[in-house]
Amino acid sequence: MRELLALLIPACAIGVFLYRSAGLTSARATVASLALAFCLGIGFSSIVSTALIVIGVAPTSRAFVLVDLVLWAIVAVLGWLNTSSTPNFQLPSSNLSTPKRPQSLDWLAPTAFGLTAIVALISVIASSRAAPHGDWDAWAIWNQHARFLFRGGEGDAWRGFFSIVWSQPDYPLLLPASVARVWAYAGHESTLGPVVIAMVFGIACVTLVVTTIGGRHGWIAGALMLGATTFLAQVPSQCADVPLACFIVATLAVTFGDALRIPNPESRTPSLIAGATGAMAAWTKNEGVVFVLLMLLIAVIVVVRRRDGRQFLWSIAGAAPILIVVVGFKLALAPSSGLVEGQSLAVILTRLMDPARHLTVLGLMAQHAMRWSAPFAFAVFPIVSLVAAWMGVRFGGVVRVMAIVLGLMLASYYVVYVTTPFDITWHVTTSVDRLLVQLWPALVLTVFLGLQSSVPSPGWTED
Amino acid sequence: MSYTLFAVRFSLARIAAVIVVVWALVSVIAAARYAIMRGSDPVAALETEFRSLSHALPPSGPVGFLRYDIDDDRADRVMTYYVAQYTFAPRVVEKRTDLEFVIVVPDAVHAGVDDRLAGFMPIATSKEGYSVYQRRAQ
């Protein structure tokens, strides 16, 4: 249970900050902010843990937990002292939600989602019991790095994994440092630690989509997310793909989906939070760097079009501390990525010009996308992607922007595959399913936000 | 678009929603069934074997690993090596034998005398025959 306590402490501290600064107006916004608090709590505490290990405070020492506790207590106090920029802001009465006449089948969607979620949870727990160390990449990369940080934290032995080329030593430390921190609180290494972290991210992912969309649409979106068994199987895998998916969907939900439902449109909180979650994506996995750059590009375009950079600056304020850590890690600690090691511009261009490589990558990606979540789904990812693309074209606005972001993410994965120095077939077949998992929650969010913008009422009927 | 059948009004959106929800429920039930029926994890068993050898190794630094002469890159053999690294962290397990300690997997040793282990002696062995060899003092 100490593992859970380790996650609760930063979540509560950030929860206090969100509660005080966002002025949460509904149960839905409160649940969404709880999910955000857990994700950001894990993210920020991993940065604190990494800093402590780098300066020589071992996770096995009492000082580690003590410093961590004191820091989070300070954050909670500062969060409590922090007040909303406009605490008494009220929505115009016409915008306040009016009580909706209950319909006889209102209970169906939440019940169906509830059943799906319970069975999904059973599946995740059973998988975690069957494979307590997680999937291949979990024990070969993420939990292995966590063991280096936890066991070798007293001296410099933790740096050992930087020399293990096959264990992706350049990957950021959000997940390994979080696992090491949870073990520090538990007082020993336990397989429960990474399992709890994996489950928190999985639950947060679904919660963010369900609460951002809201109503019956939200419940159905949640069921659709969980019904994709490749996504569901990745939750207990203890790899970084679901955490990355969580930070991607959190950023999009806060930026475009009004997840926190803050009544004051001038509030700085959503921009701060979106900046932080976006940067956390980069601190989770290298693919997150692409996402941050894309979001930055979109933010710059918005600033230029609106001629108002205030929200952009708040996003930068939320992202900057984390991005500094990511850049510091990449420049000062981690070796270069296997994907860029020894690559020259000439080699990359030659590979990009090779039609055979394009055909191979396209064929393999299409094949995997069609079979994603098989045998109970066929072409679910391509179908939902096409719907998202169609909605982006049809409805424009935030749906179009979200569809463009996800399309560009997919395109970036494609370019990396075409230019990979590794065997293409091996590289694509061993990773593309997980890359699609990273985008799945955001894709579902895009489609359902599009659906909402097409339907005037909160329901899904077309009467 | 909506249709009426037996006095119940159906819309395409409602039908699509029902399909999604039923499909999701069937999928997660199948996933749960698969997860419950899943066999025991080979990583956990291998980790237990290697863990019983930890005491024989120094707390950090490089440790050798005897490579397979044939099919060293076969998936199960790669897994054994990776699990060794996972278990013995923060030691760095390297596929070489010019170090003080070498981890030896039973089926990697040549039948009879293995020249690669000349000058070494076993100092710890697990239940399934995984061993740690240490270089003999000169």
Contacts with B8 from chain A: Cβ below 8 Å? none
Inter-chain CB proximity A119 and B29 less than 8 Å: yes
Strand locations in B16-135 (E): 61-65, 91-94, 101-104, 120-125, 131-135
Note the pLDDT tens digit of each residue in A224-233: 999 999 999 9
What pLDDT shows up at residue A220? 94
Determine which of A147, A190, A219, A423 to mutate to test the interface with B (most B C-beta atoms within 10 Å). Answer: A147
pLDDT band at A86 (very low <50, low <70, confident <90, very high): very low
Nearest alpha carbon to residue A237 among A308, A382, A131, A392: A131
**CA distance linking residue B36 with residue B39, whole number of Å:** 9
**CA distance linking residue A203 with residue A232, whole number of Å:** 11
**CA distance linking residue B25 with residue A117, whole number of Å:** 9
Inter-chain CB proximity B43 and A216 less than 8 Å: no
**CA distance linking residue A411 with residue A402, whole number of Å:** 14
Q: What residues have CB less than 8 Å from B57, skipping those under 6 apart?
A: B63, B88, B91, B101, B132
Note the pLDDT tens digit of each residue in A17-50: 888 877 667 888 889 999 999 999 999 999 999 9
Residue A271: how many CB atoms within 10 A of its CB? 22
Task: List strands edge to edge, sheet with B91-94.
Answer: B91-94, B61-65, B101-104, B131-135, B120-125
**Structural contact between residues B47 and B87, judged by C-beta atoms closer than 8 angstroms:** yes
Note the pLDDT tens digit of each residue in A165-193: 999 999 999 999 999 999 999 999 999 99
**CA distance linking residue A340 with residue A268, whole number of Å:** 37
Residue of chain B with shortest Cα separation from A150: B90
Q: What distance lies between CA B39 and its chain's CA centroid? A: 14
Q: Give the closest of A112, A143, A228 to B21, CB-based.
A: A112
Q: Which helix (H) or strand (E) holds A274?
A: helix A269-284
Position B1 pLDDT exceeds 60 = no
Inter-chain CB proximity A132 and B83 less than 8 Å: no
What pLDDT shows up at residue A462? 35
Distance in Å, alpha carbon of B98 to nearest chain A alpha carbon: 18
Note the pLDDT tens digit of each residue in B72-85: 889 999 999 999 99
pLDDT band at B7 (very low <50, low <70, confident <90, very high): low
On whether any CB of chain A is under 8 Å from the CB of B27, the answer is yes
B78: which 2 tokens? 């790669």
Inter-chain CB proximity A229 and B27 less than 8 Å: yes
Position A251 pLDDT exceeds 90 = yes
pLDDT band at A100 (very low <50, low <70, confident <90, very high): low
A311: which 2 tokens? 């929200």
**CA distance linking residue A448 with residue A220, whole number of Å:** 9
Note the pLDDT tens digit of each residue in B13-67: 788 888 999 999 999 999 999 999 988 889 999 999 999 999 999 999 999 999 9
Contacts with A462 from chain B: Cβ below 8 Å? 1-2, 11-13
Strand locations in A314-415 (E): none
B84: which 2 tokens? 């060794």
Q: Please give the residue that has the higher pLDDT: either B70 or A126.
A: A126
Q: What distance lies between CA A106 and its chain's CA centroid? A: 30
Cis preceding-peptide flag for B90 (omega within 30 of 0): yes
